[in-house]
């Protein structure tokens, strides 16, 4: 039998083709794809599209979901929020995407909370006491359908003891949608009851929203303007997450609008059913749990802000708590990518805030930059004239060292 031998100072080790030696595993960073992740850590990206700010992409009915799907195919883990993934009656399960409510995403970015991936959550449903009986039945039928056809763990529902009375408006200063609920205590009592009674650890909320005149939402249906519902939806979910530190998302209850033949595809997902609830229940069923960053979360294999490698967001929406926390991180600062094509009603440009970003024209380019970054390649090296000559750094004089001593050290090193 032929043998090969390694020649060095150590005893020779024969490498033969016998069955015994063939079972020995050799560690290599050129391993086949099934083993390649053993030689590197996972690449994690965060995608942010703020809610209710008229984003050109992500400001309508789940129209940023294609971006999330494409980005998820490039990274190992994508963290994003319901505004990106929710498309009313439509949804798309993506195994490596974490569905994180906006307030929780901010706390995560600030290093206060950790994300614990789960196999399944116990989901509870809160229905506004102001929802009419027929509309309430429609929502309960959706919950039953997701349980029977998708196998979702939606355990129980509760109706608030007082109508929430949702109010919405547009902030005259920022131009973004916002609002409030008149009876927040009724919502918190309902959530607390579900948690204590059924041990749910994720909650979907359906609030009865005022029915809009067709003229009020005509721009939105045509693919321009802002989502008048989104701002107060965020207010509702923030309230629950802040109080109970569990995943939460909201779906508005409204009467269907009059049929129109002239409808923008980006708004169409909200016109094809009686409720917006299916995507919310689907997202919450596997949303990560939120844990305080401590020794226990370290032991549970949670994700932390320091694990994030890149963040992509609209070009003029850089002043959110999460975006600022990532951009100003002093430890393991992620690559910040801003997308020019995705404009909002805001005016929070990176240079205005003193944030260093990689500016790209569109999400095509953003995904390319992330692919390069994941591969360990300077993204600028992919551009013509993207890299210049290497620069020289000059060390600062050490404290307590006299100028004469510095001169002597330079002479000894041969530097004049």
Tell me, yes or no, whether 243 and 144 share the same domain.
Answer: yes
Using the structure block, give the residue that is written with the tokens 């109706």. Answer: 159
Q: 31 by DSSP, 3-state: which?
A: coil
Tell me, yes or no, whether 306 and 266 share the same domain.
Answer: no
Q: Averaged over 103-128, what is the pLDDT? A: 97
Q: 336 by DSSP, 3-state: which?
A: strand
Question: Would you state the pLDDT for residue 19?
Answer: 44
Residue 253 lies in a domain: yes
Task: Give the residue numbers spanning the domain of 67.
Answer: 32-117+292-377
Structure tokens at 264: 């923008």
Residue 397 lies in a domain: no
Q: Averaged over 41-56, what is the pLDDT? A: 95
Residue 237 lies in a domain: yes
Q: Say if residue 39's pLDDT is above 90.
A: no
Task: Provide the 8-state DSSP code for 195.
Answer: H
Tell me, yes or no, whether 154 and 269 share the same domain.
Answer: yes
pLDDT-based confidence at residue 256 (cuts at 50, 70, 90) = confident
DSSP E strands in 151-233: the ranges are 154-159, 166-170, 177-181, 202-208
Write the CATH number for 73. 3.40.50
Contact criterion met (CB below 8 Å) for 170 and 228: yes
Residue 104 lies in a domain: yes
- Give, in order, the Cα–Cα distances in Å from 279 to each of 24, 82, 114, 210, 382: 48, 9, 24, 21, 38
- In this predicted model, what pLDDT tens digit does every residue of 302-339 receive, in sequence order? 999 999 999 999 999 999 999 999 999 988 899 999 99
Name, in order, each residue with C-beta under 8 angstroms of 383's C-beta and a sequence gap of 6 or more.
Answer: none
Other CB atoms within a 10 A radius of the CB of residue 329 amount to: 18
- The dihedral over CA atoms of 144, 150, 152, 158, expressed in degrees to the nearest 10, equals -20
Tell me, yes or no, whether 278 and 212 share the same domain.
Answer: yes
More confident of the two residues 126 and 269: 126
Query: How far is 109 from 208, CA to CA, in rounded Å?
Result: 32
- In this predicted model, what pLDDT tens digit does every residue of 166-182 receive, in sequence order? 999 999 899 999 999 99
Residue 91 lies in a domain: yes
Residue 219 lies in a domain: yes
Q: Say if residue 41's pLDDT is above 90.
A: no
Tell me, yes or no, whether 281 and 369 share the same domain.
Answer: no
Q: 405 by DSSP, 3-state: which?
A: helix
Tell me, yes or no, whether 154 and 263 share the same domain.
Answer: yes
Residue 11 lies in a domain: no
Q: Helices 184-198 & 230-244, crossing angle to 10 degrees?
A: 50
Tell me, yes or no, whether 113 and 262 share the same domain.
Answer: no
Name, in order, each residue with C-beta under 8 angstroms of 292's C-beta and a sequence gap of 6 or more.
Answer: 112, 113, 114, 245
Number of domains into which the chain is organized: 2
Tell me, yes or no, whether 36 and 125 share the same domain.
Answer: no
Question: Would you state the pLDDT for residue 297?
Answer: 66
Last residue of a domain, one of 266, 287, 308: 287
**Three-state DSSP string of 73-118:** CCCCEEEECHHHHCECCECCCCCCEEECCHHHHHHHHCCCEEEECC
Tell me, yes or no, whether 178 and 86 share the same domain.
Answer: no
Tell me, yes or no, whether 156 and 241 share the same domain.
Answer: yes
Tell me, yes or no, whether 209 and 179 share the same domain.
Answer: yes
In angstroms, how far apart are the furthest CA atoms of the chain? 89
Taking 3-state DSSP, the helix, strand and coil percentages for the chain, each rounded to the nearest 5, stand at 35, 20, 45
Residue 3 lies in a domain: no
Last residue of a domain, one of 245, 267, 287: 287
- The dihedral over CA atoms of 226, 228, 229, 235, expressed in degrees to the nearest 10, equals 90
Tell me, yes or no, whether 108 and 124 share the same domain.
Answer: no
Q: Say if residue 86's pLDDT is above 60.
A: yes
Question: Would you state the pLDDT for residue 119?
Answer: 95
What is the pLDDT of the chain when averaged over all its residues? 87
Phi/psi for 65 (5° steps) reads -60, -40
Q: Say if residue 274's pLDDT is above 90.
A: no
Query: How far is 231 from 330, CA to CA, in rounded Å?
Result: 31
Q: Say if residue 341's pLDDT is above 50.
A: yes
Last residue of a domain, one of 258, 287, 316: 287
Long-range contacts of 365-368 (CB under 8 A, 24+ apart): 365/339, 366/71, 366/312, 366/337, 366/339, 367/70, 367/71, 367/74
Q: Averaged over 256-283, what is the pLDDT? A: 86
What is the pTM for the complete model shown? 0.84
Contact criterion met (CB below 8 Å) for 311 and 48: yes
């Amino acid at each position: 039998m032929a043998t090969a031998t390694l020649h060095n100072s150590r005893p020779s080790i024969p490498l033969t083709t016998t069955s015994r030696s063939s079972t020995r595993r050799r560690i290599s960073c050129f391993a086949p794809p099934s083993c390649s992740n053993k030689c590197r850590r996972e690449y994690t990206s965060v995608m942010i599209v703020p809610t209710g700010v008229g984003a050109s992409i992500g400001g309508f009915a789940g129209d940023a979901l294609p971006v999330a799907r494409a980005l998820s195919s490039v990274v190992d883990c994508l963290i994003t929020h319901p505004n990106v993934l929710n498309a009313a009656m439509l949804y798309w399960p993506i195994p490596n995407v974490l569905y994180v409510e906006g307030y929780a995403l901010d706390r995560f970015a600030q290093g206060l909370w950790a994300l614990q991936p789960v196999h399944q959550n116990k989901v509870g449903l809160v229905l506004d006491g102001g929802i009419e009986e027929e509309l309430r039945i429609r929502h309960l039928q959706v919950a039953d359908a997701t349980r029977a056809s998708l196998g979702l763990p939606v355990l129980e529902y509760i109706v608030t003891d007082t109508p929430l009375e949702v109010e919405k408006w547009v902030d005259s200063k920022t131009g973004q949608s916002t609002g409030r609920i008149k009876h927040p205590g009724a919502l918190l009592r309902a959530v607390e009851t579900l948690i204590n009674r059924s041990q749910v650890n994720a909650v979907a909320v359906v609030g009865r929203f005022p029915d809009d005149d067709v003229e009020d939402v005509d721009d939105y249906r045509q693919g321009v303007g802002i989502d008048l519902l989104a701002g107060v939806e965020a207010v509702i979910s923030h309230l629950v997450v802040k109080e109970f530190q569990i995943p939460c998302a909201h779906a508005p209850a409204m009467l269907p609008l009059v049929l129109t033949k002239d409808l923008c595809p980006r708004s169409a997902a909200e016109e094809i059913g009686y409720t917006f609830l299916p995507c919310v229940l689907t997202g919450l069923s596997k949303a990560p749990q939120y844990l305080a960053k401590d020794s226990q979360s370290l032991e549970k294999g949670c994700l932390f802000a320091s694990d994030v490698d890149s963040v992509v967001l609209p070009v003029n929406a850089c002043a959110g708590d999460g975006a600022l926390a990532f951009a100003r991180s002093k430890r393991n600062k992620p690559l910040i990518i801003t997308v020019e094509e995705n404009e909002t009603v805001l005016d929070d440009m990176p240079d205005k805030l003193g944030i260093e970003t990689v500016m790209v024209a569109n999400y095509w380019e953003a995904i390319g930059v992330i692919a390069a970054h994941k591969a360990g390649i300077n993204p600028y090296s992919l551009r013509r004239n993207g890299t210049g000559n290497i620069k020289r750094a000059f060390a600062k004089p050490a404290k307590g060292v006299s100028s004469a001593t510095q001169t002597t050290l330079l002479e000894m090193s041969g530097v004049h």
